[in-house]
Amino acid sequence: MPGQQEGGALKPSHAHETEPLLARRASTASHDTRKSSKQLTTRHAFAVLVTLQIGSGIFASPAQVDSNVPSPGAALLVWVLGGLLSWAGAASFAELGAALPLNGGMQEYLRHVYGDTAAFLMAWIYIVAVKPSSMAIQSIVIAESIGSIGIIDSHSSHNSLLLKVLAAVSFVLMVLLNSINTRFTLRLSESFTIFKIGTVGLIVLAGMTAVIAHSVDPRSSLSGSSDWYSKNWFGSRPTISDGHIIDWASMGAWDRYGHYCAAIYGGLWAYDGWDNANIIASEIRDPGRALPRAIKAAMVVVLSSFELVNVAYYILLPWHQLSANNAVAVAAATSLLGRPAGVVTTLLVAVSCAGSITSNVFSVGRLTMAASQRNYLPAIFSSRGLPHRRHSDDEEETTSTLDAPLYANLLALVITLLYICMGDFRALLTFVGMAEWVFYVSTVVGLLILRRREPQLDRPYCPTILLPITFVIVGTLVIVRSAMFSPLQSGLLAGLLVAGALVSRLRGH
């Protein structure tokens, strides 16, 4: 089979670089001889997806969405649109994951469709930029959440270093917990899933409490803000974006388009993580059935949770506060039940972010291993555990009592700590989102190519073609909008892609 030798050692296949893109080839889809321990079930894949998507996004993104739309009703529609678009992408990835059940997810799909260079570019950018920066952001949120309780004065420049140290310590602790073994990581991920759903449930319950209290006694102190029952949910009102008040009545159509795209982008960032179950596809039992089920269940839970939580935010808080407040969940709990509730919510948000870090460490470790197996990275990063010598009567063999990808985790640890030290992530968030969506859209375009090029490929799950087509069209608009309104980040991404292509070409010689 192309790209493999005896013993399962993988080598990059360069045949795809010169063959016509739509030419039919013998599929290498489901027969990777390198065996992975199939410990994961539908429940585990579901836990990975939920713990990644319900992270800091649902507690921070509502401000970005609200500030870029004229009304709460429009904001709720944006959240639905972002969820449906993510669902379309997840369904498309489920088809690829069931047909190509290989560790590495997007990396392996791009290699199968476009060749080695595309897979190398994706692996390089994700391992050194996208995943580490995402985990750095989650760590910073944990530190700032703890600091907001009053332990550290986050507004003091003297204590900003302490926040970074706290973020670094939090991340190191999460990496250590994820480096014990796969079974422990799975149990940890499931525990965080319960915590995350519980946090979302408490916020929704607070909103329901306010509605019930108002229906019983309109003057009750538990009724939340008066805006939700006294104002039009689709009525235009001024919002605050980047410190400036937006007057929607006097805004032109082109500027409105830019703000709507920014709102959708904020929602998509909150939903991000729906592709990560595909990264561990070869470790899932019966991926043809388990992967689509996990993705469907996770998207239903996440989309419903995000919509209900945002409704609760608009019930609990005065509407003018949402666009100017990044700690919406804490503000909502504090407004209803006082500072103690805000402290509890702060801790719950921190735990939710820790859960997202757990799933990110788990997925990036497997992605790094897959890249190493393709010779994109040194072979040491494909190793599991810490090897030690065991003597027997006949021979000496190398074994390990741990099965976590320790060297891959160590690489993620070092790179992420560098991002934590950099400190400012606003521009980086835009860059990360742009980089992700370039590869998301390229991968789903590859799905359409495979349907034409390899119709004989076994597809245990095959959604309607309208889903990948819709995803490609809308995703392309998101990328174009980001490139036009963020030229610095788009230029940096283009530079990294060109540099990566050159490195990949040098690797081939």
* Residue 92, in any domain of the structure: yes
378-382, 425-429, 500-504: least confident range: 425-429
Token output for 398: 């190398």
* Residue 237, in any domain of the structure: yes
Contacts of 410 (CB under 8 A, 6+ apart): none
The count of residues in the chain is 509
Token output for 283: 């470790």
Q: Which residue range(s) make up the domain with 208?
A: 38-386+395-507
Instruction: Specify the residue for token string 């290989």.
Output: 102
- How much of the chain, in percent, has pLDDT values that exceed 70? 81
* Residue 22, in any domain of the structure: no
Decide if 3 contacts 14 (C-beta within 8 A).
no
Token output for 185: 């990581």
Higher pLDDT, 278 or 316: 316
Instruction: Specify the residue for token string 């640890």.
Output: 413
| DSSP letter, residue 386 | -
Mean pLDDT (whole number) for 217-237:
89
* Residue 301, in any domain of the structure: yes
d(CA 314, CA 224): 9
Partner residues linked to 245 by β-bridges: 240
Mean pLDDT (whole number) for 35-54:
70
User: In the chain, how many H helices and how many E strands?
Assistant: 20, 4
Q: Longest Cα pair distance anywhere in the chain, in angstroms?
A: 85
Higher pLDDT, 42 or 216: 216
Checking if the pLDDT of 418 tops 50, the result is yes
Average pLDDT, the chain: 79
Q: pLDDT band for 139, please (50, 70, 90 cuts).
A: confident
Q: Could you tell me the CATH number of the domain that includes residue 300?
A: 1.20.1740.10
* Residue 18, in any domain of the structure: no
* Residue 294, in any domain of the structure: yes
Contacts of 2 (CB under 8 A, 6+ apart): 13, 15, 28
* Residue 410, in any domain of the structure: yes
**Top-confidence range, 186-200, 266-280, 295-309, 398-412:** 295-309
Q: Tell me the pLDDT tens digit for each residue of 53-108.
A: 776 778 778 888 898 899 999 999 999 999 999 889 988 988 888 888 776 678 88
Q: Tell me the pLDDT tens digit for each residue of 331-364.
A: 788 777 777 887 888 888 888 888 888 878 888 8
Number of compact structural domains in the chain: 1
Burial of 115-126, coded b for 16+ CB within 10 Å and e otherwise, reads: bbbbbbbbbbbb
* Residue 145, in any domain of the structure: yes
Decide if 428 contacts 206 (C-beta within 8 A).
no
d(CA 400, CA 223): 58
Q: What is the pTM of this model?
A: 0.76
Q: Tell me, what's the pLDDT at 277?
A: 66
Mean pLDDT (whole number) for 252-270:
82
Q: Tell me, what's the pLDDT at 452?
A: 92
